Structure 1
Amino acid sequence: MKLTQIRNATLKLEYAGVRFLIDPMFADKDAWPGFPGSARAHLRNPLVPLPLSIDELLDVDIIIVTHTHQDHWDEAAQQRIPKDHLIYTQNERDATLLRSQGFSQVQALAAENNIAGMIISKTEGQHGSDEAYAIPAVAERLGDACGLVFRHENEQTLYIAGDTVWVKPYVDSLNTFTPEVIVLNIGCATLDGLGAIIMGKEDALRTHQRLPAAMIVASHMEAVNHCLLSRKELREFAAGQGLEHQILVPEDGETLSF
């Protein structure tokens, strides 16, 4: 397994001989405004450039879009990805959206999927607090976002948790699949007055406490305006817990092998 942190939640994954691109965001630095009603909304997104060329990113077999928020599926990706590329989405609603954007080879994930000789399971999460989802307009804005578990007899089990806070479905996924490698979207993206809508540093510690043998990989950091947790802060936190070798914080463009 080779996992490359690209930028934000964009990942390139080589798993059991298959190359995946997860949550493509291809925009140039500063291409669009900060998310309204979120922390540091005066900043323009993305905050940093891509570390690899788009041609390199598109040298993959399968694309998976966990949800269609702009920082996971942006206009630049829609323009540059070939319309006949194989793409999987979290549900039929998102698949319908992508088809309306001109993509012809879009499939919605089932709960469990046999894809290219591996099992990919779709997991649930919650893209914000109960209080945030109690407000209809905010709930509509946050929507659904899935996670992904990859399994193959020749690979370690990989769990990409997706955009979620710490909720029972996340813990259930840890217990059900006992992944050996866990990618956390951990930048502590924050809405004004409503708190974090993805995980933060304490969730890395809680994940370790649940599965002490697992390697934890930090993603979704330092690339969009509302992500407040820095790599430096997370590394210092991990070191303070004696976990600097189990909570990995890759730079954009860095590849980890497992």
Structure 2
Amino acid sequence: MKIRQLRNATIIVEFGGNRVLVDPMLAGKQSLPPLRVTGERRRNPLVELPDRTDAVLATVTHCLITHCQKGHFDHLDRAAKRWLRETGTPVICTPHDASYLAQRGLNVQPLPRGHEQPVPLWGGTIRTVPCTHGTGLVGRLMEHGVGYLLEMPGEPSLYLSGDTILTPAVRGFVAAHQPGVCVVPAGGARFDVGHEIIMGIDDVIELARLSTGIVIANHLEALSHCPVTREGLAVAAQAAVVASRLYIPDDGESLDLDEESRARLVDTAR
């Protein structure tokens, strides 16, 4: 398995002959609205996509969406919809999002009902995990979406948490399933009011301690409402003695996470 960090929550997961684009935000720098009303109102995204992104996208075979409604452009923006429409790339999603995406001309292939339990996909299985994308008044306004657990033959199990804070349900899921690789948001995003709507430094450190596998942190340094920096998270991980298992990739970086490589990394961490 290889995971390439593009920007924010947008990654490409490669296993077997599949190259799966997750939660694409493909807009140019500062072409999307600010996400804060007070303070410095910076337009998004804060950075461009990495060099050679077009060439990398040309290898994509599928797309996987965790959530996309209620204005969540950081997981599916207009540029991404246009690219998916023009390429006809199959888009895997929940039945909840299927009609919304189909109305936008995408090649939708929704998961069947009952996707909370493992269902067949690409020679392995996929199942969804509930997300809590904020609490209180802000939480009631958000689209909470899902995370995914992918289990493919010959590959480490992969948990894509989606946009969520670290809830008892997420803790319990990670403790029970111990995914080989967890990809989690770490930006500590918050609006002008309310609490964090995704994991921040403390949540990511706690999840890394709970997990026996590799944790990859993203959703960093690309959006104006995400204050956590890569450097700040790395310093905290070092102090918490989880730095050897917590990966904080740069935009454009690719990680090789096959079983042999992952076992070697975990052994080194111990």
Amino acid at match of 1:196: E
- State the TM-score, normalized to the length of structure 2: 0.87
In structure 1, the partner of 2:127 is 121
Q: CA RMSD in A?
A: 1.7
In structure 2, the partner of 1:98 is 101
Map Cα deviations across residues 192-213 of structure 1 (whole Å, 9 max, x no partner): 22021000111122112222x2
Q: Is 1:87 equivalent to 2:87 in the alignment? A: no
Give runs of aligned pairs for residues 11-30 of structure 1, distance below 5 A: 11-30=11-30
Q: Tell me the CA shift for residue 243 of structure 1.
A: 2.0
Count of residues in Structure 1 that have an aligned counterpart in Structure 2: 249
Q: Go from structure 1 to structure 2 and tell me whether the alpha carbon gap of 1:174 and 1:98 turns closer, same or farther (over 3 Å shift).
A: same
Large movers: runs of 4+ above 6 Å: none
Q: Tell me the CA shift for residue 56 of structure 1.
A: 2.0
Amino acid at match of 1:85: T
Give runs of aligned pairs for residues 60-75 of structure 1, distance below 5 A: 60-68=60-68, 69-75=72-78
Q: Which moved more, 1:222-231 or 1:12-21?
A: 12-21
Tell me if the contact between 2:32 and 2:44 (Cα under 8 Å) persists in the aligned partners. Answer: yes
Unmatched segments (≥5 aa) in structure 2:
258-270
Tell me if the contact between 2:5 and 2:253 (Cα under 8 Å) persists in the aligned partners. Answer: yes
Unmatched segments (≥5 aa) in structure 1:
134-138
Map Cα deviations across residues 10-49 of structure 1 (whole Å, 9 max, x no partner): 0000124321100011000010111245x75600101000
Tell me if the contact between 2:36 and 2:224 (Cα under 8 Å) persists in the aligned partners. Answer: no
Aligned partner of residue 190 in structure 1, secondary structure: coil
Amino acid at match of 1:7: R
Map Cα deviations across residues 45-82 of structure 1 (whole Å, 9 max, x no partner): 01000013234224211100111110000001111223
Give runs of aligned pairs for residues 209-248 of structure 1, distance below 5 A: 209-211=209-211, 213-248=212-247
Q: Go from structure 1 to structure 2 and tell me whether the alpha carbon gap of 1:16 and 1:171 turns closer, same or farther (over 3 Å shift).
A: farther
Map Cα deviations across residues 76-98 of structure 1 (whole Å, 9 max, x no partner): 11112235321011x32311111
In structure 2, the partner of 1:192 is 192
